[in-house]
Structure 1
């Protein structure tokens, strides 16, 4: 193994956040796109959880929690990133109550005890909290970021989940009238690095299948 291997899935918010952190840390790795219904045996052998992302390092270390991969990238990359941002209360709330509520909102038919409108209403407080946490950029007054005047691990940790929320029903999201949050989300999604990391790739099942170099696609 000449560089780390990342098992990923293009649309998974946990995998998106790790690809963003690795890319912004300028850490190259071999990315293997996983079909979640047909997971590669090699991934299951190193991580019995069976979920992405999974990062395999050259020394045999396996990291299979997205925040832990982001923290590793922050301390091993060429860019100066503050891993302490990952301990922020916004990340904890995003990964717990917001993600749980988001799953119910997106897959409301699996949770018939409440309506989709109810699940949507339960997401409002966190989205409003994010809107209030946005700070203007020092270099471009139209850009805003979470808690700091520049893009950071905090933005990359949370953006993929807000993206998922947005695409459930864009008109409903826009109707919240949170223009700052909406602008932040679209700026994140339209960033060149994000766009390139979201290109569709062929699935990887076993040795010989196509994988790709993370930094070479940027």
Structure 2
């Protein structure tokens, strides 16, 4: 049987959340880690926009948006009920994720740039991010996960972005009062799940031995 092919990049947050969902779904894919400075011809043929993740399900089905990869994976198999079927509406999960994708992610990019280039607006950029971190802190003060007592698509969809936020000013973050966010993030970062999803694989080239990636 031919497996779907996932073009990925280890530290890209969008590729990371796609791998998280695939791992959680227990679906098997052929993983192809790539360098964006040397994109394989087969990857560009599948999706000319050339960004990861790209999931080649078949010749006629190419998925090149991370959230769509997540939804496809969990639509195929969702043993942990991350879509919270019969608990909340899928639209509620997608609305939450959309806010973090459209609003929070650009704030993180500005925050990272301010730190990297020693700009004078670092604190202002951090404050912009904190609006969303404060929302998470409120939610996580009431229950173990973002949408309630059960883990959901929302948790693993924004996890890579919260990880990015925590790394910009590490010492500031560690000393911050966001204890519930820190608990939630640490639980993921210290988990076997995260270690497996973040395992390092050789860069794929034409003719490479297939690498099978799946949850268990």
Q: Provide TM-score, normalisation by structure 2.
A: 0.88
Change (3 A) 1:181 1:153: same
Change (3 A) 1:113 1:193: closer
Q: Provide TM-score, normalisation by structure 1.
A: 0.87
Partner of residue 120, structure 1: 126
* Residues 34 and 203 in structure 1, CA contact (< 8 A), matched pair in contact too: yes
* Residues 21 and 73 in structure 1, CA contact (< 8 A), matched pair in contact too: yes
Distance 1:136 1:24 in 2: 25
Change (3 A) 1:162 1:210: farther
Distance 1:20 1:72 in 2: 13
Gaps of 5+ in 2: 85-89
DSSP 3-state at the match of 2:32: strand
Partner of residue 96, structure 1: 102
Distance 1:86 1:22 in 2: 21
Partner of residue 140, structure 1: none
Distance 1:25 1:54 in 2: 17
* Residues 104 and 111 in structure 1, CA contact (< 8 A), matched pair in contact too: no
Partner of residue 82, structure 1: 83
Q: Which moved more, 1:70-79 or 1:21-30?
A: 70-79
Q: Which moved more, 1:178-187 or 1:191-200?
A: 191-200
The two structures, once aligned, show a CA RMSD in angstroms of 2.2
* Counterpart mapping for 1:21-40 below 5 A: 21-40=21-40
What is the aligned length? 210
DSSP 3-state at the match of 1:56: strand
* Counterpart mapping for 1:38-187 below 5 A: 38-58=38-58, 60-77=60-77, 79=79, 80-82=81-83, 84=90, 87-108=93-114, 115-134=121-140, 144-187=144-187
Gaps of 5+ in 1: 138-143
Partner of residue 195, structure 1: 195
Change (3 A) 1:147 1:41: same
* Residues 203 and 210 in structure 1, CA contact (< 8 A), matched pair in contact too: no
Q: Which moved more, 1:106-115 or 1:185-194?
A: 106-115
